[in-house]
Structure 1
């Protein structure tokens, strides 16, 4: 690493320090593995260390270590670790199965995930993919909208441009009339996302009025095979 074509070799040749972007715990476990010691994610103290060790294994061409760590993650994955892990493995095709498992964990515990600080580290693409999935499990669609606004609000300057597209994944007719009226007022000051939001909200309000006139409280059909097999498990 210090003598070949790696970036670290270039640092040595120019007299600079060799920096490895990882914690001491992750680097120690990485070196232990190289020198023959058994390494697994349970030996690391924090989830951050575990994620960093996985990144080191991928960056420095140790596929066996990366595969072992990914397998261990699969066996112990929960929504908290899924939120931490997904942004780091998103661009690595060898972790596509693990990324899919992370998405599924977030889908199953979306309301809990929205309250986590790590939810804000998702990219627009990652959040959009999750919102598009019909098996997203929430008791109220308002929770999904809360997640979108919270994510955008964490960095308005960079993320407001994504708001219009993310809002297209909201099932507005599932929301209460009172909240739709609040959204109708908000749309007037929502910038570029306002016109589309206003149209969606007004359409949902019209559907509410129609259902009330028809004496029906049924939600609009947005069913998948999964939802049909599991009654009540719907967005």
Structure 2
């Protein structure tokens, strides 16, 4: 607290030199006009324009005495007491009196309390009180958590048709299945069918109908009573299904189909593949996988350094590329790619050169473990603090490991397999950052070098790799509570030195080496079904690549798949 603030607060408490008295709901507050004018344009106008200079007593309506007490304490001390109970009333009063420090603190408190049950209320609230940033964040929360909001929020059922339309037509709406949007519209209509059925033909075209499975369209959408009773909707559905059938045989034709019905939603997250070994040499190619559109997108890249056998980590809007090999030299470098700006920056170097390095992210710190420095395999480990731009050595691993794979889980780092310079390893160990100690855990059932290790649910998965004899398809999962490994369904393809990540609750494996050549194939595993399935191949084959899931980017459209631009209007175009 500054000396002047402390002095004014002391004078207020002692009622020294007070020149105004505020009547608030039967309670009187002695104040200094000059102090209130310095924090509030309302009180400045009240004391200088809305009253005569000799006025001393002021009646303050529309606020309780308890809230006025909090506001005055903030004006005099700079400290505000915000609780769940007083938040809304305090916000309204601070907005009325234009006490920006309190309104900012209230906005921050509201943001922290955003949930599926209150986000629509807050969105409505900010249409009355002009706080565009809070309104944007509330709307973004609705879009990001649409599945939960539409299923569980009572406020969702009270949306106007215009508000619902604004939500469901937004490209950023986050839903794994577009059919969820159709079901949400049905739920909204069924809440008041007589009043809302007339809005159906305005809402249906806002769904990306061509992104819904054809069988679902036939049975659930076309077969619904609302569609059957509305000629306009029925025609739209028939056109959508015709497009899907045509697209499966002759490809997308933007001249005969409205793009809004086919354009995928923008993903909240995308899988980024960086560098790797391709066509006999390292590459600097970057591409992202948009699982909403099931497509890979090339990313413009001004980094001219090709690299492979490096590590990648996504943190605070940037991808960090750690170590690696350019075909001649092993790197100790760390480069940061700012995805919003699309530029590279070299940051602090590691203490050691590391290719075949394992990396992990824990509590905002990046760990680089083991690897090969050009002369020997390493047991050393270090971690990077982005805020300090500094690498610090930590305790060495128990085993020497290159070509291992690591992941963070429940506050610890797990590293599995690898190559010690002589044999491929089946061992695994765990690092506790609080004690700076490594502990051996149960061995895997297979030797694995060039494997992928990833935390998925409550387990650590060890996927694929090289046994010393052949590349593997096998997968096993480690349960930290029981310190045991168990077999899991095998991948469709054998591979080592591939990328591995979890995106939208599915485990993806990307590229790699199959024992004969580098590959471009990608597959994913769904823990709910226990089934591996193929997804779209990368644009190039590559192994020894780095993969990271990037998310919540302001320019996510730059990393998402796009359909062709919409055609010019035609006389026979479907009305949208």
With normalisation by structure 1, the TM-score equals 0.68
CA distance in 2, matches of 1:185, 1:224: 25
SS for the counterpart of 1:133 is: coil
> What is the rounded CA distance, in whole Å, between the counterparts of 2:92 and 2:228 in structure 1?
39
Q: Map residues 188-199 of structure 1 onto 2, 5 A cutoff.
A: 194-199=230-235
Matched, 1:66 2:103: yes
Q: Counterparts of 1:37-76 in structure 2 under 5 Å?
A: 39-41=80-82, 43-45=83-85, 50-58=87-95, 60-64=96-100, 65-76=102-113
Residue 97 of structure 1 pairs with residue 137 of structure 2: no
1:32–1:39 CA contact under 8 A, matched in 2: no
Q: Return the TM-score normalized by structure 2.
A: 0.31
The worse-fitting range, judged by mean Cα deviation, of 109-118 and 72-81 is: 72-81
Q: In the TM superposition, what whole-angstrom CA distance separates every residue of 1:142-186 from its partner, at most 9, and x where no partner exists?
A: 111111121222223443333222222101111122322232232
Q: Which residue does the alignment assign to 2:146?
A: 110
The 1:224–1:198 alpha-carbon spacing in structure 2 relative to 1, beyond 3 Å, is closer
Q: Distance in 2 between matches of 1:110 and 1:224?
A: 13
User: Any gaps of 5 or more consecutive residues in structure 2?
Assistant: 1-23, 26-61, 253-260, 271-287, 295-576
Secondary structure of the structure 1 residue equivalent to 2:224: helix
Map of 1:17 onto structure 2: none
Deviation at 1:224, TM superposition (A): 7.7
State the 1:225 CA deviation.
7.9
1 or 2, which has the higher strand percentage? 2
Counterpart of 2:222?
184
Quote the Cα distance in structure 2 between the aligned partners of 1:108 and 1:63. 31
Give 1:81 deviation, angstroms.
3.4
Does the Cα contact within 8 Å between 1:57 and 1:66 map onto a contact in 2?
A: yes
Per the TM alignment, residue 35 of structure 1 is displaced from its structure 2 partner at its CA by 4.5
Q: Which has the larger radius of gyration?
A: 2
Deviation (angstroms), 1:210:
2.0
Q: CA RMSD in A?
A: 3.6
In the alignment, which residue of structure 2 is the partner of 1:36? 73
- Among 220, 223, 243, which residue is 1:207 paired with? 243
2-structure distance, mates of 1:139, 1:178: 17
Residue 200 (structure 2) aligned to one of 157, 163, 166 = 163
Match of 1:151 in 2: 188
Change in 2 beyond 3 A, CA 1:162/1:188: closer
Q: CA 1:81/1:189 → structure 2, altered by over 3 Å: closer, same or farther?
A: closer
Unaligned runs of 5+ in 1: 3-19, 21-25
- SS at the partner of 1:136? coil
1:127-146 maps to which residues of 2 (within 5 A)?
127-146=164-183
Cα offset for 1:57? 4.2
Contact map agreement 1:109 1:137 (CA 8 A) in 2: yes
**Partner secondary structure for residue 206 of structure 2:** coil
> Match for 1:122 among 159, 176, 180?
159
> How far apart are the structure 2 equivalents of 1:147 and 1:189?
15
Equivalent position of 2:263 in the other structure: 222
Matched with 2:123 is 86
CA displacement, residues 111-167 of structure 1 (integer Å, 9 cap, x when unaligned): 011122222233333322221211211111111111112122222344333322222
Deviation string 1:11-70 (CA, Å, 9 cap, x unpaired) is xxxxxxxxx8xxxxx9676344245265454x124xxx6445434544x44443333311
Say if 1:188 and 1:125 are closer, same or farther in 2 by CA, change over 3 A. Answer: closer
Mapped to 2, the partners of 1:81 and 1:134 lie a distance apart of 22
1:82 and 1:179 mapped to 2: Cα distance?
Answer: 30
State the 1:211 CA deviation: 3.6
Q: 1:128 to 1:32 in 2, by over 3 A?
A: farther
Aligned partners of 2:168 and 2:206 also within 8 Å: yes
Distance 1:190 1:35, change over 3 A: farther
The structure with more helix, counted as a fraction of residues: 1
Q: CA deviation at 1:78?
A: 4.0
Look up the match of 2:499: none
Contact 1:87 1:121 in 2 (8 A): no
CA distance in 1, matches of 2:144, 2:116: 8
